[in-house]
């Protein structure tokens, strides 16, 4: 704990205030007790803070793609779908080809990078789903996709894995020294979650 700061400390702070309740979890919400008051956080607050589009959930991971993305073919004509990684997209944006591509392709490449790296937290070795490129073929469909619901469903699942990861972290590192301790991470679009928690926390502190 003393070595943590920033987002890591905020995540730990949130965990310490969470009240784990089966009924609340079934309702797709999180419950916290702050300064003797109860705060619930769920899909609605996530939607309001993130300002992203919401609607029926679409599972991109299991969406079958019948045609090849034209954007993907222009950006990575020599890379197979199963070999395409985040590092390829990052290298493209940093490379010379990015400076000569069309404005439309440059915008979509940056939007994909912002979504996958900035919001979802994908690392360099993560595959890029073909359905993601299919959406990126059209700025219209990309903007109308329910990214808010997609990120909420993904983030809710990841955030609920906190305690399991911490338990395994403590169990596996019980007999090793600090230098050899394994680490754990919690991915997902946590920014709206952190904003909501921090605002509520500061509000309750100011009320005393």
DSSP 139-160: HHHHHHS-HHHHHHHHHHHHHT
| pLDDT number for residue 5 | 46
- Is 74 found in the same domain as 136? yes
- Is 135 found in the same domain as 80? yes
Token code pair at residue 158: 């990841």
More confident of the two residues 58 and 110: 110
Is 61 part of a structural domain of the chain?
no
**Which of 22-36, 98-112, 168-182 has the least mean pLDDT?**
168-182
| pLDDT number for residue 3 | 46
- Is 170 found in the same domain as 107? no
- Is 31 found in the same domain as 75? no
Question: Which candidate, 65, 56, 62, 207, places its Cα nearest to that of 144?
Answer: 56
Is there a contact between 45 and 33 (Cβ–Cβ < 8 Å)? no
Question: Which candidate, 198, 193, 200, places its Cα nearest to that of 47?
Answer: 193
Is 65 part of a structural domain of the chain?
no
| pLDDT number for residue 1 | 40
Is there a contact between 197 and 159 (Cβ–Cβ < 8 Å)? no
Q: What average pLDDT does the segment 14-34 reach?
A: 82
Is 33 part of a structural domain of the chain?
yes
| pLDDT number for residue 94 | 92
| 92, 112, 145 - which closes a domain | 145
pTM of the complete model:
0.73
| pLDDT number for residue 9 | 65
- Residue-wise pLDDT tens digits, 147-166: 888 888 888 887 787 777 77
Q: What average pLDDT does the segment 33-43 reach?
A: 81
d(CA 47, CA 195) in angstroms, rounded, equals 12
Q: What average pLDDT does the segment 22-38 reach?
A: 83
| pLDDT number for residue 129 | 83
Find all residues with CB under 8 Å of 199, minimum gap 6, and list them.
none
- Is 100 found in the same domain as 125? yes
Helix (H, G, I), strand (E, B) or coil at 37: strand
| pLDDT number for residue 93 | 93
- The number of folded domains in the chain is 2
Q: Catalogue the long-range contacts made by 112-119 (C-beta closer than 8 Å, 24 or more residues apart).
A: 112/136, 113/89, 115/147, 116/86, 116/89, 117/86, 117/90, 119/151, 119/189, 119/191
- Is 181 found in the same domain as 158? yes
| 96, 130, 145 - which closes a domain | 145
Backbone dihedral angles phi then psi of residue 32, each to the nearest 5 degrees:
-130, 150
Using 50, 70 and 90 to split pLDDT, how confident is the model at 92?
very high
- Residue-wise pLDDT tens digits, 131-146: 888 888 888 989 999 9
Residue-range definition of the domain harbouring residue 123: 70-145
Kindly calculate the radius of gyration of the chain based on its CA atoms and give it in whole angstroms: 20
């Amino acid at each position: 704990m003393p070595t943590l700061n920033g987002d890591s400390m905020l995540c730990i702070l949130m965990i310490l205030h969470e009240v784990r309740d089966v009924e609340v979890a079934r309702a797709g919400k999180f419950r916290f007790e702050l300064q003797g008051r109860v705060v619930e956080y769920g899909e609605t607050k996530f939607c309001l803070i993130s300002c992203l589009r919401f609607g029926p959930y679409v599972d991109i991971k299991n969406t079958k793609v019948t045609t090849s993305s034209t954007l993907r073919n222009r950006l990575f004509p020599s890379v197979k779908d199963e070999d395409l990684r985040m590092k390829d997209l990052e290298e493209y944006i940093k490379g010379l080809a990015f400076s000569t591509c069309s404005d439309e392709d440059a915008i979509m490449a940056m939007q994909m990078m912002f979504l996958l790296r900035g919001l979802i937290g994908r690392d360099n070795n993560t595959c890029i789903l073909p359905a993601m490129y299919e959406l990126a073929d059209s700025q219209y469909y990309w903007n109308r996709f329910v990214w808010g619901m997609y990120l909420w469903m993904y983030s809710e699942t990841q955030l609920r894995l906190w305690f399991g990861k911490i338990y395994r972290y403590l169990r596996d590192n019980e007999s090793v020294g600090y230098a050899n301790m394994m680490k754990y991470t919690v991915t997902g679009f946590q920014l709206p979650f952190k904003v909501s928690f921090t605002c509520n926390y500061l509000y309750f502190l100011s009320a005393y």
